[in-house]
């Protein structure tokens, strides 16, 4: 970082301070030595290595001036040290692969201290598998050059995002299995036809009185969905009381059902509204990916899939969708990587999430799609 700062900051009047902390004295001592193996510098361009490091035996030793630009000191990120956590003090914080070892409450507390000690608009970089989803509402997610990072909001303190409560609203029972014929391809074709017919039929009929007169509830919509009554489920979320309109769960179910029934502009509106309320909502990004694909923007669709997968690393559907899009684009290696991830995640994907996002397919049918696509990528490569 000190090298990058020297190489890239054009204005010499800038004063750049880098503070490096760790709990472990051995890690601090190693950092202080600033001695790196060739392997540790494998991603460092050769010209940078020659300019800023001196070879010493098998190792490379960092230039003293660069090393002196970094203040290395002991600190505990789980503690309340007022010197470390000065308000609005830092412009950028890099905290890679540390918080993932914290218990959820400890992680929330550390992130809230990080947020308060960042200047408004300051940046936070975490490890590639770490996400603030469900941890903090104090950051916007940013994405560029295949990298995710966070930007502190101007105002802090909207609290922790609500966890999506779809699980508790749906009985954890598997969808009734689709009558299996010879191959999963038939299963999928049948399911698609059935979903289309159900949506059309339900639109032609009035919604059940029971749903309207017994008071509106998200649970009713999800129960209807569970019984594959997609059109009625959509009527149900649409017919909710005004105060439910901005409920994140309602918006997500509505967005998914709208995309199901081909009302893509309305689905995107619901997603954008949802993202205004919960900027780290993985489901909203997945629905946006489906909508962008329908609009013929496969690149944008993959971007939303990647954001969804980053925000929720256990979410199988964006991986599957992104893998199929990569295969379509001829990127067989990328497709295989995503699809193999999807295969692992699908085995343990939550039943209610499969119900909401699985497009009417059973877990087995989705696994079949994945396996077949992986096999095809392997055959051709």
Ligand X SMILES: C[S@@+](CC[C@H](N)C(=O)[O-])C[C@H]1O[C@@H](n2cnc3c(N)ncnc32)[C@H](O)[C@@H]1O
Binding positions for ligand X, rule: CB under 6 A: 22-24, 27, 76-78, 96-98
Cβ-based nearer residue to ligand X, 78 or 244: 78
Residue 103 CB, shortest distance to ligand X, in Å, is 11
Residue 379 CB, shortest distance to ligand X, in Å, is 38
DSSP 118-166: EEEEEEEEE-TT---TTT-SSEEEEEETTEEEEEE-SS----SPPPP-H
Cβ-based nearer residue to ligand X, 125 or 372: 125
Cβ-based nearer residue to ligand X, 97 or 214: 97
Residue 37 CB, shortest distance to ligand X, in Å, is 14
Helix (H) or strand (E) segment spanning residue 35? strand 35-37
What strands lie across the sheet with 53-56, from one edge to the other? 35-37, 59-62, 53-56
Cβ-based nearer residue to ligand X, 23 or 201: 23
Cβ-based nearer residue to ligand X, 15 or 80: 80
Cβ-based nearer residue to ligand X, 23 or 65: 23
CA–CA separation, 269 and 49 (whole Å): 49
Residue 113 CB, shortest distance to ligand X, in Å, is 11
Residue 110 CB, shortest distance to ligand X, in Å, is 8
Within 8 A by CB and 6+ apart from 373, the residues are 323, 324, 327, 335, 339
381 C-beta neighbours (distance < 10 Å), count: 9
CA neighbours within 13 Å on the CB side: how many for 35? 8
Residue 77 CB, shortest distance to ligand X, in Å, is 4
DSSP 214-246: T---HHHHHHHHHTT-HHHHHHHHHTS-GGGTT
CA–CA separation, 368 and 66 (whole Å): 54
Helix (H) or strand (E) segment spanning residue 366? helix 363-380
């Amino acid at each position: 970082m000190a090298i990058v700062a020297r190489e890239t900051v054009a204005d010499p009047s800038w004063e750049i301070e880098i503070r490096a902390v760790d709990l472990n004295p051995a890690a601090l001592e190693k950092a202080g030595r600033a001695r790196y193996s060739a392997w540790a510098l494998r991603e460092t361009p050769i010209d940078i290595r020659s300019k800023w490091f001196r070879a010493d035996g098998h190792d490379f030793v960092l230039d003293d001036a660069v090393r002196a630009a970094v203040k290395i000191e002991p600190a505990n990120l789980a503690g309340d040290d007022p010197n470390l956590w000065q308000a609005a003090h830092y412009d950028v914080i890099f905290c890679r692969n540390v918080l993932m070892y914290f218990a959820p409450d400890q992680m929330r507390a550390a992130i809230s201290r990080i947020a308060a000690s960042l200047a408004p608009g300051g940046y936070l970089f975490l490890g590639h598998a770490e996400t603030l989803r469900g941890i903090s509402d104090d950051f916007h997610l940013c994405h560029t050059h295949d990298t995710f990072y966070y930007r502190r909001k101007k105002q802090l303190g909207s609290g922790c995002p609500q966890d999506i409560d779809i699980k508790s609203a749906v009985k954890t029972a598997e969808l009734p299995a689709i009558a299996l014929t010879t191959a999963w391809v038939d299963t999928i074709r049948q399911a698609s036809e059935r979903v289309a017919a159900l949506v059309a039929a339900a639109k032609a009929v009035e919604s059940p009185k029971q749903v309207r007169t017994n008071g509106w509830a998200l649970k009713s919509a999800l129960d209807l969905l569970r019984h594959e009554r997609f059109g009625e489920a959509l009527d149900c979320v649409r017919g909710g009381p005004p105060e439910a309109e901005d409920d994140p769960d309602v918006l997500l179910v509505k967005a998914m059902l709208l995309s199901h029934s081909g009302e893509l502009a309305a689905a995107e509106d619901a997603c954008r509204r949802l993202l205004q309320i919960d900027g780290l909502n993985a489901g909203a990004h997945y629905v946006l990916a489906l909508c962008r694909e329908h609009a013929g923007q496969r690149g944008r669709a993959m971007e939303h899939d990647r954001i969804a997968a980053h925000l929720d690393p256990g979410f199988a559907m964006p991986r599957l969708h992104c893998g199929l899009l990569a295969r379509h684009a001829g990127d067989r290696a990328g497709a295989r990587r995503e699809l193999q991830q999807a295969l692992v995640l699908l085995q343990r994907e939550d039943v209610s999430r499969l119900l909401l996002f699985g497009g009417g397919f059973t877990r087995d049918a989705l696994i079949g799609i994945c396996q077949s696509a992986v096999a095809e990528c392997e055959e051709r490569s």
